[in-house]
């Protein structure tokens, strides 16, 4: 009987440890952060390119 209780306690501790690791896993968070930074950089570059293109187009209209 005591052996069964010890095995049950070990199984419960093992399950608790697995559940804790599964809920606190940060796997993928770095990838998500990198994707968000990449999207932000692409958006900023797009805005800069649009501004430069607009400026150059307006200035080319002033050429005689």
Q: Is the pLDDT of residue 46 over 80?
A: yes
Query: Angle 8-12-27 (CA atoms, 0-180°, nearest 5)?
Result: 150
C-alpha 47/C-alpha 49 separation (Å) is: 6
Mean pLDDT in residue range 29-41: 86
Q: Is the pLDDT of residue 27 over 90?
A: no
Domain holding 25, by residue range, is 2-60
**Whole-structure pTM value:** 0.53
Question: What is the number of structural domains in the chain?
Answer: 1
C-alpha 16/C-alpha 8 separation (Å) is: 12
């Amino acid at each position: 009987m005591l052996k069964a209780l010890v095995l049950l306690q070990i199984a419960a501790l093992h399950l608790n440890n697995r559940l804790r690791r599964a809920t606190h896993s940060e796997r993928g968070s770095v990838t998500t952060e990198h994707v968000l930074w990449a999207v932000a950089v692409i958006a900023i570059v797009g805005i800069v390119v649009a501004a430069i293109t607009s400026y150059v187009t307006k200035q080319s209209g002033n050429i005689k």
